[in-house]
Amino acid sequence: MATDEPPTKKKKTVDSVSPSLLIDEKKRLLVENKFLVKMPEDFYQFWTFLHELNSEDPNNILTPFDLSLGGPYDVLLGKSSGNDDDYLLHHRFYYDMPEFQTVLLSRKEGSQYHIGYYRDSPSEDPVFLASNDSSQGCKLTVLSDNIFAAVLSYLQGSEYKSKPKGKQVIKCVSSSAKLCREIPSAESVCG
């Protein structure tokens, strides 16, 4: 039966993302057991976003911007620290306070710049993402309340914003940051 109405554009939600890209409960529990905290939904949405861009090496998407996935993302990448006790110290820097958990690292030689979630208590969701350059001391710079917007903030404040690939990724991450705020299951973290 034909209608004169134009097709409606379906809004992308977690439910419309390919199920094969969503993180299964087993991997979520593995991250939680290794790091002793529950990661927020935007953490997994960022992984899915990167995986959609490069399923063979999601970490490679960030390479041109001198960033690398770290901390709990290493579990999703299949990297092992060998010793379960090492996970609580994984990608921690000298000035990192216990409430800070690194998820992104600078790839620049000798840099101690990193981005992480800050939470008041291990049993609570993170309050925000911040950056720190441990070579400069213990100063945290608040970036955002979700990882997409934190990466967007990093890119907009870097030399990459004027390069063609940087502009393309900024546009893509910006769209995803807005989407993150629209997803009901991520509402408490992203909006």
Give the pLDDT confidence score for residue 178 in this predicted structure.
54
Give the pLDDT confidence score for residue 156 in this predicted structure.
81
Give the pLDDT confidence score for residue 167 in this predicted structure.
61
Q: Model pTM?
A: 0.74
User: What is the token pair recorded at 163?
Assistant: 């390069």
Q: What is the Cα–Cα distance from 58 to 60, expressed in whole angstroms?
A: 5
Give the pLDDT confidence score for residue 98 in this predicted structure.
85
Residues whose CB is less than 8 angstroms from the CB of residue 112 and which lie 6 or more positions away in sequence, other chains included: 93, 106, 132, 133, 134, 135
Task: List the chain pLDDT tens, one digit each, 191 residues.
Answer: 445 554 444 444 444 444 334 577 888 898 888 888 999 999 999 998 888 888 888 888 888 888 999 889 988 888 766 665 577 767 777 778 888 889 999 888 888 899 999 999 989 989 999 999 888 888 889 999 999 989 988 888 766 655 556 566 666 676 665 554 443 333 333 33
Q: What is the Cα–Cα distance from 61 to 144, expressed in whole angstroms?
A: 21
Total residue count of the chain as it appears in this document: 191
Hey, is 113 helix, strand or coil?
A: strand
- Which stretches of the chain are DSSP H helices? 25-35, 41-53, 73-76, 147-156, 164-182, 187-190
